[in-house]
């Protein structure tokens, strides 16, 4: 039933999308803006030369302005103009009007524009918890039975050791499901958990005040730390106490069908210890150790010991790359260059211990700054160093830290200025998970803004959130449940299998990218091969419409950061 509905929805969506290639509507952030934010909409080029803003559902004009000159946007195959209305600061509900086009979706100007979005993006992690029943008091209509207790997880042959031979069992409960699938991967957990912890480190007041209504709420710990703890507890079980090595993943041999967690009962395995897993684990545990220390000294000490042991293991096994065993077919998160993981772990250990030998291990002068992703985490080293710059030892090169953060921000701001849509994405950024690329770019820009107050960085970061909330060629908010037009059929097993029409809310889908690696699994074609339009709101589309913990984390960071940093 649900499948038939989704096909119908797809058919009407595909028509709309192809019609819209020549005459789309107005594209803007469908939630709206903070009063003090930069405010921009994108308008398809036509006869109009100006725009007006009306109170939603009325003809009361509150502002008018000129459209910018037209610019052609090759990534989306259209020609567009921009409408700038930053001066409109009065809270209210509005629509943007351009003659010859339908009015824009309504949007708010409000000091709490992203409150609900931010809480939902974080609550999404609760909905993806393994090993716990979601009760109605916390999950509402998305309540479900527990799945994947992971109390009897087999040691895969690739992970066998003298004290843990192949086929023996360990307990490795809790954690978050990685994405639309039910497996748990240390590499991706690393950047995801870190990014949430970084959001807390940067915006503590915001998160201390936030109430998520999760089972631990009210226990004296901020909910973002409660939620992250669920995954940290699992990560700790992935370290072999005999040698400090860390298993790469906990997985079935094959992906589960589109069923609820409790119905997914294939045997689970831990697979191969890898250098990347040990270093990502070391980085996250070192960071978590300092962040949880005011709340739980025992946990904090345990995390630091675990981090050091994983670091030691990685130094002794510098090139144990992940090799997918022949009998395993789930996600790989493989990576044949772990120099960035090494630098990131060194940075976190240095910040937490103030031991200069870790700073030396970073090789800072040789370490470039790049937009973070699961496979390239060197940027996380720079962001953490910048955040903690005031407490570092004399060994740290302060000027280098500031210049690395600023120079990448400058490049991103240049892309933003040149872009017809006023966004930081360039053609090469439309990869699997492109929406997380733009969110990580925005996260970087916010760090740079915190560092040196360059207003363009804040505005460029805003453009990233605007993009994922509707200022894109598809006129879609890419966050389930938020915005007037949002994904209905994410590649997310619970959303598909729960029998509830609306998907689990608060998830950022992967987004457009021309690879279309799921074409063979999709009953309907993508509407376009253009990078910015190659997207399918169909459950088949794991390459454009899956959700993932590493994609949501920078959305949590950015939606909190804009609220915390945008001048009133």
Active site residue 87: no
Q: Select the residue interacting with ligand G3I from 31, 179, 186, 282 (CB under 6 A).
A: 179
Number of Cβ atoms within 10 Å of the Cβ of 361:
18
**Residues in region 520-549 near ligand G3I by CB under 6 A:** 542, 546, 548
- Taking contact as CB under 6 A, which single stretch among the options 51-59, 343-351, 386-394, 429-437 is the one that binds ligand G3I? 429-437
Give 27's DSSP letter: B
Q: How far apart are CA 196 and CA 557, in angstroms?
A: 7
Q: For the chain, how are helix, strand and coil distributed in percent, rounded to 5? A: 45, 15, 45
Could you tell me if 247 and 273 are in contact, meaning their C-beta atoms sit under 8 angstroms apart?
A: yes
Q: Which residues contact 462 (CB under 8 A, 6 or more apart)?
A: 33, 37, 38, 442, 562, 566
- Is residue 150 close enough to count as binding ligand G3I by CB under 6 A? no
Could you tell me if 262 and 145 are in contact, meaning their C-beta atoms sit under 8 angstroms apart?
A: yes
Least separation in angstroms between residue 122's CB and ligand G3I is: 19
| H helix or E strand, kind and range, residue 466 | helix 455-468
> Which entry of ligand G3I, ligand 9MR, none binds 431, CB below 5 to 8 A by partner kind?
ligand G3I
Please provide residue 546's backbone torsions phi and psi, each rounded to the nearest 5 degrees: -80, 170
Cβ closest to ligand 9MR, residue 320 vs residue 546: 546
- Taking contact as CB under 6 A, which single stretch among the options 87-95, 174-182, 354-362, 451-459 is the one that binds ligand G3I? 174-182
Cβ closest to ligand 9MR, residue 180 vs residue 503: 180
Q: Which residues contact 425 (CB under 8 A, 6 or more apart)?
A: 75, 415, 419, 434, 437, 438, 441, 467, 532
Q: Select the residue interacting with ligand G3I from 181, 227, 256, 341 (CB under 6 A).
A: 181
Cβ closest to ligand 9MR, residue 94 vs residue 255: 255
- Is residue 178 close enough to count as binding ligand G3I by CB under 6 A? yes
> Which entry of ligand 9MR, ligand G3I, none binds 375, CB below 5 to 8 A by partner kind?
ligand G3I
Q: How far apart are CA 447 and CA 443, in angstroms?
A: 6
Could you tell me if 487 and 545 are in contact, meaning their C-beta atoms sit under 8 angstroms apart?
A: yes
> Which entry of ligand 9MR, ligand G3I, none binds 539, CB below 5 to 8 A by partner kind?
none
Cβ closest to ligand G3I, residue 232 vs residue 328: 328
> Which entry of ligand G3I, ligand 9MR, none binds 255, CB below 5 to 8 A by partner kind?
ligand 9MR
- Is residue 341 close enough to count as binding ligand G3I by CB under 6 A? no
> Which entry of ligand G3I, ligand 9MR, none binds 483, CB below 5 to 8 A by partner kind?
none
Q: How far apart are CA 521 and CA 491, in angstroms?
A: 12
Contact track, ligand G3I, 365-384, x by CB under 6 A: ----------x---------
What are the angstrom distances between the C-alpha of 332 and each of 70, 117, 125, 276, 474? 43, 30, 21, 12, 30
Which residue of the set 24, 150, 181, 518 is catalytic?
A: 181
> Which entry of ligand 9MR, ligand G3I, none binds 521, CB below 5 to 8 A by partner kind?
ligand 9MR
Radius of gyration of the chain (CA): 23
Cβ closest to ligand G3I, residue 215 vs residue 261: 261
Cβ closest to ligand 9MR, residue 260 vs residue 415: 260
Strands 32-33 and 107-109: parallel
- Is residue 476 close enough to count as binding ligand G3I by CB under 6 A? no
Cβ closest to ligand 9MR, residue 78 vs residue 181: 181
Least separation in angstroms between residue 408's CB and ligand 9MR is: 28
Closest CB to ligand G3I: residue number:
331
Least separation in angstroms between residue 180's CB and ligand 9MR is: 5
Cβ closest to ligand G3I, residue 445 vs residue 548: 548
Quickly list H helices, 297-397: 297-316, 339-353, 356-362, 378-387
Least separation in angstroms between residue 431's CB and ligand G3I is: 5
Active site residue 501: no
Number of Cβ atoms within 10 Å of the Cβ of 8:
10
The total number of residues shown for the chain amounts to 568
Q: Which residues bind ligand 9MR (CB under 6 A)?
A: 179-181, 255, 331, 521, 542, 546
Cβ closest to ligand 9MR, residue 376 vs residue 546: 546
- Is residue 431 close enough to count as binding ligand G3I by CB under 6 A? yes
What is the sign, positive or negative, of the torsion defined by CA atoms of 301, 307, 313, 316?
negative
Which residue of the set 78, 256, 498, 537 is catalytic?
A: 537
**Of 134, 147, 150, 126, which is closest to residue 251 (Cα–Cα)?**
150
Active site residue 429: no
**Of 178, 97, 32, which is closest to residue 510 (Cα–Cα)?**
178
Could you tell me if 188 and 549 are in contact, meaning their C-beta atoms sit under 8 angstroms apart?
A: yes
Beta bridge partners of 108: 32, 93
> Which entry of ligand G3I, ligand 9MR, none binds 265, CB below 5 to 8 A by partner kind?
none
| H helix or E strand, kind and range, residue 63 | strand 61-66
Beta bridge partners of 561: none
Which residue of the set 148, 491, 492, 538 is catalytic?
A: 491
> Which entry of ligand G3I, ligand 9MR, none binds 432, CB below 5 to 8 A by partner kind?
ligand G3I
Q: Which residues contact 147 (CB under 8 A, 6 or more apart)?
A: 130, 131, 182, 260, 261, 262, 263, 264
Least separation in angstroms between residue 549's CB and ligand G3I is: 9
Active site residue 280: no
List residues with catalytic annotation. Answer: 181, 491, 537, 546
Interface residue list for ligand G3I (CB under 6 A): 178-179, 181, 331-332, 375, 431-433, 515, 517, 542, 546, 548
């Amino acid at each position: 039933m649900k499948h038939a509905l989704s096909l119908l929805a797809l058919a009407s969506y595909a028509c709309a999308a192809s019609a819209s290639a020549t005459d789309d509507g107005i594209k803007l952030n469908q939630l709206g803006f903070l009063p003090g934010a930069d405010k921009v909409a994108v308008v398809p080029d036509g006869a109009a030369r100006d725009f007006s803003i009306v109170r939603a559902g009325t003809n009361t004009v509150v502002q008018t302005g000129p459209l910018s000159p037209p610019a052609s946007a090759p990534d989306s195959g259209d020609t567009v103009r921009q409408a700038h209305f930053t001066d409109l600061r009065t809270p209210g509900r509005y629509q943007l009007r351009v003659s010859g086009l339908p009015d824009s979706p309504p949007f708010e100007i409000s000091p709490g524009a992203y409150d609900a979005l931010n809480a939902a993006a974080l609550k999404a992690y609760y909905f993806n918890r393994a090993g716990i029943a979601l009760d109605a008091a916390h999950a509402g209509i998305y309540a479900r039975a527990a799945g994947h207790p992971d109390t009897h997880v087999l040691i895969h042959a690739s992970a066998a050791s003298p004290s843990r031979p192949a086929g023996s069992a360990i307990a490795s409960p809790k954690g978050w499901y990685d994405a639309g699938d039910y497996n748990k991967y240390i590499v991706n957990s690393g950047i995801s958990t870190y990014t949430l912890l970084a959001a807390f480190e940067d915006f503590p007041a915001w998160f201390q005040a936030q109430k998520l209504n999760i089972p631990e709420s009210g226990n004296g710990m901020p909910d973002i730390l409660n939620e992250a703890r669920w995954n940290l507890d699992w990560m700790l079980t992935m370290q072999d106490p005999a040698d400090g090595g860390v298993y790469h993943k906990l997985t079935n041999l094959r992906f589960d069908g589109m069923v609820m967690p409790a119905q997914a009962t294939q045997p689970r395995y831990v697979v191969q210890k890898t250098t990347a897993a040990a270093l990502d684990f070391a980085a996250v545990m070192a960071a978590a150790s300092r962040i949880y220390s005011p709340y739980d000294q025992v946990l904090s000490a345990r995390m630091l010991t675990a981090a050091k042991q994983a670091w030691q293991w990685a130094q002794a096994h510098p090139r144990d790359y992940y090799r997918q065993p022949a009998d395993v077919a789930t996600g790989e998160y493989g990576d044949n260059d772990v120099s960035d993981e090494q630098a990131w772990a060194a940075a976190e250990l240095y910040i937490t211990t103030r031991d200069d030998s870790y700073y030396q291990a970073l090789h800072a002068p040789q370490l470039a700054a790049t937009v973070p992703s699961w496979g390239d985490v060197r940027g996380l080293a720079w962001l953490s160093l910048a955040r903690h710059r005031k407490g570092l030892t004399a060994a740290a090169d302060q000027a280098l830290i500031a210049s690395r953060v600023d120079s990448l921000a400058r490049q991103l701001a240049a892309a933003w200025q040149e872009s017809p849509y006023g966004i930081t994405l360039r053609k090469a950024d439309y990869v699997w998970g492109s929406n997380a690329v733009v969110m990580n770019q925005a996260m970087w820009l916010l760090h740079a803004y915190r560092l040196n107050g360059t207003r363009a960085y804040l505005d460029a970061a805003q453009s990233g959130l605007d993009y994922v909330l509707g200022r894109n060629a598809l006129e879609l908010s890419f966050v389930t449940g938020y915005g007037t037009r949002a994904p209905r059929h994410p590649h997310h097993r619970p959303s598909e299998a729960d029998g509830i029409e609306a998907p689990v809310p608060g998830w950022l889908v992967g987004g457009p990218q021309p690879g279309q690696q799921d074409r063979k699994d999709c009953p309907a074609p993508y509407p376009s091969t253009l990078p910015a339009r190659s997207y399918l709101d169909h459950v088949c589309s794991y390459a454009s419409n899956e959700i993932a913990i590493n994609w949501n984390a920078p959305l949590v960071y950015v939606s909190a950061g804009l609220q915390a940093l945008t001048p009133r």
